[in-house]
């Protein structure tokens, strides 16, 4: 039987918010059984808020959680690390409106959680086990989840940009695969969009230190890509973070085409509403 887990001690991450460009400190605390993931703003002395899909306030450029008088954006990279490492109970406390972007991937979150150590708790872990397919589609974009006794993601993207093009990847999500194959994949953006975003007060902390930047033809980062298909790997990373807002670990195959934060949020909300399509159970190994 699988048991719930948390971190053994407080983990601290320091960096800047990718949109506001302000120094940001995120502390992740161990939490008791059945806490799930909770979010609070230390600068506002807010009460912890459950990090669930119904609390998602915005999905443009990042996943933003809101309610109880505050919002926090760019939560998906930290959630992806926690979800993939099979951590269940954590309190995320940040001193501003964004999680730190760090290097634009999840690897520093993974390493921080691993360095803190994992504490196995005396409470069985319940999974959402998908019994029938659920799909959310908008044009040629779709996100679906179907029965599968594991957690697998099959994803595809198609960009006209010559450095990206069409990319596909299918991968079983577990701690090892996520750390070695997904967590290092960075977020990406286009140079032509930077001026527009900054005029809107966004991307003020973005740079080639924390994102893949592309002009009309190529990747501008001097070091190049970490994977030849780093773009689809980052989309999978985001999906691992966004599905964590379900509130419990899932057993199913997630299939995505051109899906971003918005479609993922709609899929999770649909999954919540169609309780007949899944069952909640502990798994015995």
Using a cut of 0.85, tell me whether the model's pTM lies above it.
yes
As a whole number of Å, the end-to-end CA separation of the chain is 6
Question: Is the separation of the CB atoms in 240 and 183 below 8 Å?
Answer: no
pLDDT digits (tens, 9 = 90+) for 24-71: 999 999 999 999 999 999 999 889 999 999 999 999 889 999 987 899
Query: What element of type H or E holds 265?
Result: helix 261-273
Q: What pLDDT does 201 receive?
A: 67
- Among residues 19, 77, 234, 261, the one annotated as catalytic is 261
Q: What pLDDT does 284 receive?
A: 67
As separate numbers, helices (DSSP H) first and strands (DSSP E) second, the chain gives 6, 19
Q: What pLDDT does 79 receive?
A: 98
234 is catalytic: no
Residues 6+ apart with CB under 8 A from 158: 165, 166, 167, 258
In this prediction, the residues of the chain whose per-residue pLDDT falls under 50 are none
Q: What pLDDT does 169 receive?
A: 98
Phi, psi of 228 (to 5 degrees): -65, -30
pLDDT digits (tens, 9 = 90+) for 257-266: 999 999 999 9
């Amino acid at each position: 039987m699988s048991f719930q887990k948390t971190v053994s001690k407080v983990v601290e991450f320091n960096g800047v918010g990718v949109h506001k460009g302000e120094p940001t400190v995120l502390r992740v605390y161990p939490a008791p059984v059945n806490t799930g993931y909770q979010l609070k703003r230390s600068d506002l002395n807010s009460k912890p808020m459950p990090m669930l899909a119904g609390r998602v306030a915005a999905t443009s450029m990042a996943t933003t959680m809101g309610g109880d008088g505050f919002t926090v954006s760019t939560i998906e990279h930290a959630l992806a690390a926690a979800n993939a490492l099979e951590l269940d109970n954590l309190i995320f406390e940040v001193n501003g409106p964004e999680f730190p972007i760090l290097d634009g991937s999840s690897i520093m979150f993974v390493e921080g959680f691993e360095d803190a150590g994992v504490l196995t708790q005396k409470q069985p872990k319940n999974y959402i086990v998908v019994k029938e397919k659920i799909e959310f589609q908008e044009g040629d974009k779709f996100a679906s989840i179907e029965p599968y006794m594991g957690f697998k993601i099959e994803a595809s993207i198609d960009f006209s940009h010559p450095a990206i093009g069409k990319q596909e990847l299918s991968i079983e999500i577990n701690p090892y695969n996520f750390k070695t194959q997904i967590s290092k994949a960075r977020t990406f953006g286009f140079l032509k969009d930077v001026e527009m975003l900054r005029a809107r007060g966004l991307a003020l902390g973005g740079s080639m230190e924390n994102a893949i930047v592309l002009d009309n033809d190529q990747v501008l980062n001097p070091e190049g890509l970490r994977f030849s298909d780093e773009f689809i790997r980052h989309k999978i990373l985001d999906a691992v973070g966004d599905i964590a807002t379900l509130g419990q670990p899932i057993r199913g195959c997630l299939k995505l085409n051109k899906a971003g934060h918005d479609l993922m949020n709609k899929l999770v909300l649909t999954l919540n509403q169609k309780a007949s399509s899944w069952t909640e159970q502990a798994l015995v190994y």
